[in-house]
């Protein structure tokens, strides 16, 4: 009887050790395949990289790397120019992993970037995604959406973007973000230089701003008569000026 019990205990212990070893191998294997995907991305082998991330998702569904694999799989689609598939994949990532701590913001920005790109190409089906992002409660979503939307010719969307760009100039201190907002605002309205360059902290125009406003108005009246090359040169000069780099 004792011998039988010892045999059973020995068998169970061996089975437990085998399970632990298999689990350890699985953990190491998912990381190995994931790393292969990252290396392939570095080599710009987007389809091969996506295949590696898909293997992580399918072979190791309980791995902690699965959310990241979903994100980078979508990123590979985007880098291949497969915009519709990439946008759908990013949205699936956002729905499945709402608490993912590192890549949620990147995925949201990617959705906006792709929606703007598709709208620029004439696909109006993605317009509502941009409008939704411009009214999002999270300021990082609104800010990115407003800056990215400044490239559009859709007047309703750009009208929504302008107050957000001014909100950035009024409330934010990060230099890079503020500079990008200035350039985006100028892209939408060449006359915006008056608003940008000369107001005091309290919002009251100082002497320089009044002079700038008159100058900007004169420039705006002559803007429509400029050649495309002259407009490009003028815009570049104004961008350098408002960013304090001239």
The pLDDT score that the predictor gives to residue 17 is 47
The pLDDT score that the predictor gives to residue 20 is 47
Q: Is the pTM of this model over 0.85?
A: no
For the chain, which residues make up each domain, given as ranges?
29-102, 189-246
* Closest to 101 (Cα-Cα) out of 77, 138, 70, 68: 68
Residue pLDDT, tens place only, 142-185: 999 999 999 999 999 999 999 999 999 999 999 999 999 999 99
Cα–Cα distance measured from residue 245 to residue 134, given in angstroms and rounded to the nearest whole number: 29
Residue pLDDT, tens place only, 195-212: 555 444 444 444 444 444
The pLDDT score that the predictor gives to residue 131 is 96
Cα–Cα distance measured from residue 197 to residue 96, given in angstroms and rounded to the nearest whole number: 44
The stretches in the chain having pLDDT less than 50 are 4, 6-22, 198-224, 226, 231, 238-246
Instruction: Identify the CATH number of the domain defined by range 29-102.
Output: 1.25.40.10
CB 202 within 8 A of CB 168: no
Cα–Cα distance measured from residue 8 to residue 118, given in angstroms and rounded to the nearest whole number: 64
Other CB atoms within 10 A of residue 212 CB: 20
Cα–Cα distance measured from residue 46 to residue 41, given in angstroms and rounded to the nearest whole number: 6
Widest distance between CA atoms in the chain? 104
The pLDDT score that the predictor gives to residue 174 is 94
The pLDDT score that the predictor gives to residue 203 is 41
The pLDDT score that the predictor gives to residue 190 is 77
């Amino acid at each position: 009887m004792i011998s039988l019990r010892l045999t059973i205990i020995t068998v169970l212990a061996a089975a437990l050790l085998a399970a632990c070893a298999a689990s350890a191998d699985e953990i190491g294997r998912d990381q190995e395949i994931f790393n292969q995907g990252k290396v392939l991305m570095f080599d710009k082998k987007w389809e091969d990289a996506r295949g590696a991330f898909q293997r992580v998702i399918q072979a190791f569904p309980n791995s902690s790397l699965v959310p990241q694999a979903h994100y980078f799989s979508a990123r590979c689609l985007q880098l291949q120019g497969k915009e519709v598939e990439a946008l759908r994949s990013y949205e699936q990532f956002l729905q499945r992993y709402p608490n993912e701590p590192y890549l949620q913001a990147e995925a949201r920005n990617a959705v906006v970037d792709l929606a703007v790109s598709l709208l620029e190409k004439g696909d109006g089906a993605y317009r509502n995604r941009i409008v939704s992002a411009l009214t999002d409660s999270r300021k990082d979503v609104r800010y990115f959406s407003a800056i990215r939307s400044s490239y559009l010719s859709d007047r309703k969307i750009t009208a929504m973007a302008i107050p957000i760009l001014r909100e950035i100039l009024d409330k934010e201190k990060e230099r890079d973000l503020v500079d990008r907002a200035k350039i985006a605002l100028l892209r939408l309205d060449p006359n915006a230089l008056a608003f940008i360059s000369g107001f005091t902290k309290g919002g009251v125009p100082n002497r320089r701003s009044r002079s700038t406003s008159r100058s900007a108005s004169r420039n705006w009246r002559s803007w429509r008569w400029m050649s495309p090359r002259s407009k490009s040169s003028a815009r570049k000069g104004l961008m350098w000026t408002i960013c304090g780099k001239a």
